[in-house]
Chain A
Amino acid sequence: MLVVVCIKQVPDTTQVQIDPVTNTLVREGIPFIVNPYDTHALEEALRLKDRFGFRVAAISMGPPNAEATLKKALALGVDEAILLSDRVFGGADTLATSRVLSEAIDRLNRQEQVGIVICGKQTIDGDTAQVGPGIATRLGYTQLTLVDRIEKFDPFQGRITVRRKLEGRHETVEAPLPVLLTVVRELNRPRYPTVPMRLESEQATVQVWSNQELQLDQNGIGLKGSPTWVSRIFSPQREKGEIVGDGAADPAGAAHLLVDKLVSRDLLVV
Chain B
Amino acid sequence: MSPNPKLFAVLLLLSASAFVIGCYRRFSLVALGRPEDRLDAPGTRFSRMLRLAFGQQRVLGKPFGMNHFVIFWSFIILAAANAEFLVSGLAPQVSLAALPVPLQHALLFLFDLVSMAALVCVLVAFARRLFFAEPSLSSDYVKARSPEAFLILSLIALLMLAYFGLHAARIAAGIEDPAAMPVSAFIAANLVAPLAIDPATLAVWSWWLHALALLSFLAYLPQSKHMHILTAIPNCFLAGLERPNTQPREEFTRGGRFGAGRVDEFTWKDLFDSFSCTECGRCQDACPAAGTGKSLNPRSVIHALKTNLLANGASLRAGDAPPQPLIAASETGAGAGEGSAAENAIWACTTCGACMSVCPVLIEHMPKIVKMRRHLVQMKASFPEELATFFENVEARSNPWGIAPTERTKWHANLQVRPFEQGKTEYLLYVGCAGAYDARQKQVTVALAAILDAAGVSWGTLGKDERCCGDSLRRLGNEYVFDRTARDNVSLLAERGVKKIVTQCPHCFSTLKNDYRQYGMDLDVMHHSELIAGLLASGQLELKQRVADLGRLLFHDSCYLGRHNDVYDAPRQALTAATGSAPAEFARNAERSFCCGAGGGRMWQEEQEGERINLNRVKEALQQEPDTICVSCPYCLTMMEDGLKDLQGGSVRVKDLAEVVVEGLRA
Contacts and interface: CB of A to CB of B under 8 A. Distances in A.
A203 B255 CA distance: 12
A40 B406 CA distance: 27
A14 B404 contact: yes
Interface string B437-458: 0000000000000000000000
B402 A194 contact: no
B379 interface: yes
B397 interface: yes
Given A12-B396, A15-B404, A15-B405, A192 B391 contact: yes
B157 to A, nearest CB: 54
Contacts of A14: 397, 402-404
Nearest to B379: A194
Contact of B397 (A12, A17, A196, A203): A12
Contacts of A196: 254-256, 258, 379
Contacts of A199: 252-254, 256
Contacts of A193: 381
B401 to A, nearest CB: 11
Contacts of B480: 195, 198
Interface in B378-425: 378-381, 383, 385, 388, 391, 396-397, 402-406
A195 B405 contact: no
A12 B406 CA distance: 12
Interface in B466-520: 480
Interface residues of B, number: 23
B244 to A, nearest CB: 24
B381 A191 contact: yes
B388 A189 contact: yes
Contacts of A213: none
A194 B396 contact: no
Given A33-B396, A189-B388, A194 B378 contact: yes
Contacts of A203: 254
A31 interface: yes
Interface string B249-261: 0001111101000
Contacts of A192: 377, 381, 383, 388, 391
A225 to B, nearest CB: 33
A195 B258 contact: yes
B381 A15 contact: no
A190 B252 CA distance: 24
Interface centre among A14, A33, A190 (most CB of B within 10 A): A14
B404 A194 contact: no
Contacts of A151: none
B385 to A, nearest CB: 7
Nearest to B402: A14
Contacts of B379: 194-196
Given A14-B402, A33-B396, A194 B256 contact: no
Contacts of B252: 195, 199
A198 B255 CA distance: 11
A58 B256 CA distance: 26
A200 interface: yes
Contacts, number: 46
A22 B406 CA distance: 20
Contacts of A189: 385, 388
Contacts of A191: 381
A71 to B, nearest CB: 14
A12 B398 CA distance: 13
Contacts of B383: 192
Contacts of A12: 396-397, 404
Contacts of B406: 15, 17
Contacts of A194: 378-381
Nearest to A190: B388
A195 B380 CA distance: 9
A110 to B, nearest CB: 33
A15 B252 CA distance: 31
A200 B254 contact: yes
B380 A31 contact: no
Interface centre among A12, A31, A194 (most CB of B within 10 A): A194
A9 B322 CA distance: 43
Interface in A1-53: 12, 14-15, 17, 31, 33
B404 A195 contact: no
Nearest to B257: A196
A86 B480 CA distance: 34
Nearest to B403: A14
Interface in A172-212: 189-196, 198-200, 203
Interface in B340-382: 377-381
Nearest to A31: B396
B409 to A, nearest CB: 14
A33 to B, nearest CB: 6
A43 B662 CA distance: 51
Interface string B126-149: 000000000000000000000000
Contacts of A15: 397, 404-406
B463 to A, nearest CB: 13
Nearest to B380: A194
A204 B86 CA distance: 68
A33 B398 CA distance: 13
Nearest to A34: B396
Contacts of A198: 480
B555 to A, nearest CB: 29
B633 to A, nearest CB: 28
A77 to B, nearest CB: 11
Interface of B: 252-256, 258, 377-381, 383, 385, 388, 391, 396-397, 402-406, 480
Given A189-B385, A195-B378, A195-B379, 14 more contacts: A12-B404, A14-B402, A14-B403, A15-B397, A31-B396, A31-B397, A33-B396, A192-B388, A192-B391, A196-B254, A196-B256, A198-B480, A199-B256, A200-B254
Q: Which 7 A-B pairs have the closest CB atoms?
A: A195-B378, A192-B381, A15-B404, A195-B480, A199-B254, A14-B404, A194-B381
Interface of A: 12, 14-15, 17, 31, 33, 189-196, 198-200, 203
15 contacts: A12-B397, A14-B402, A15-B397, A15-B405, A31-B396, A33-B396, A191-B381, A192-B381, A193-B381, A195-B252, A195-B258, A195-B378, A196-B255, A199-B252, A200-B254
